[in-house]
Amino acid sequence: MTPDKIAYMSVTPDVNGPMPLSWVADLDTVIPAIKALGYQGIELQTRKPTEFDWKATRKKIDDSGLAIVGISTGPIGIEDGLYICHKDADGRRQAIERYKTVLDLAGEWGVDSSIGGFRGRASMMESRAAALDHFRQTVGELARYAKSKGRRIVLEPQNRINTDFLMTMTETVEFIRSMEQDGVDNLVLEADMFHQALEEKSIVAALITARPYLVHVQLGDSNRLAPGQGFLPWRDIVETLRALEYDAWLSMEFTQKPDSPTCARQAMEFIRPLVTW
């Protein structure tokens, strides 16, 4: 783990908001600001990739020297109300087709994309059993599509406020392993510290459980503010990741209060010394 793999969350040009966990502004504003603070990467929330110029956006980021570290999909649900476990069949179909456009973008940019809150809730459908079966079948279909693009799908355990399944690392690892038994071998996961703080008995133990599949880490404190603004044991978290030889990105995702420039500065000033030490 090195200080040259710290990223900040922003949005692609198609996202209109609200997206309270990202710096929502034109990339011409975001890119130089986070570069000046020492960030080396940018993670992007996307909503409808067909509505913006992929190549121009990629060139703008490449020319800045930043790396695109991942594509997140929260705005698909927040703005458009589309979820994999949608209450009606047409909504489910639209969600699948929308995520395939995200996978097209991921293939073009050479990064992985995630499924977090976009999965919805099992309670949205007629029964929990039907919802979990639908999710499983859908993820299998999408994973095969992702593989055709040379990409993986990153599953994000999320807390009970956002969803009612795949909430812990253990549950998500068990799901991934069950999919592997069916021949799906391109599912991995990410750890979001805010979600883990609400659902795990031990964040350290959860990271150890997740390590075989852990490819991305998002940072937000216990109150979903910037790291250092709450009470999470950041030294233990960082040292556990170091002991596990985690060497991928640390990406900032948290509520932008009081404002994004202040949050980005607070987060970098707090995390960089811990990672560098």
Q: Of 131 and 16, which is predicted with more confidence?
A: 131
Domain assignment present for 219? yes
Domain that holds residue 49: 6-276
Domain assignment present for 170? yes
What pLDDT was estimated at residue 277? 84
For residue range 107-128, list pLDDT tens digits in order.
Answer: 999 999 999 999 999 999 999 9
Cα separation, 7 vs 272, in Å, equals 11
For residue range 133-146, list pLDDT tens digits in order.
Answer: 999 999 999 999 99
What pLDDT was estimated at residue 19? 92
Domain assignment present for 271? yes
What pLDDT was estimated at residue 23? 98
Asked if the model's pLDDT at residue 181 lies above 90, the reply is yes
For the whole model, what pTM was predicted? 0.97
- Secondary structure (DSSP) of 96-127: HHHHHHHHHHHHHHT--EEESGGG--GGGSS-
Q: CATH number for the domain including 59?
A: 3.20.20.150
Domain assignment present for 1? no
**Average pLDDT in the 164-193 region?**
98
Q: Give how many domains the chain has, as a whole number.
A: 1
**Sign of the CA dihedral with 10 first, then 12, 18, and 24 last:** positive
What pLDDT was estimated at residue 17? 81
- Between the alpha carbon of residue 20 and those of residues 47, 55, 91, 267, the distances in Å are 14, 26, 24, 16
Beta bridge partners of 218: 192, 251
Asked if the model's pLDDT at residue 1 lies above 90, the reply is no
What pLDDT was estimated at residue 196? 97
| SS3 category, 7 | strand
What pLDDT was estimated at residue 219? 98
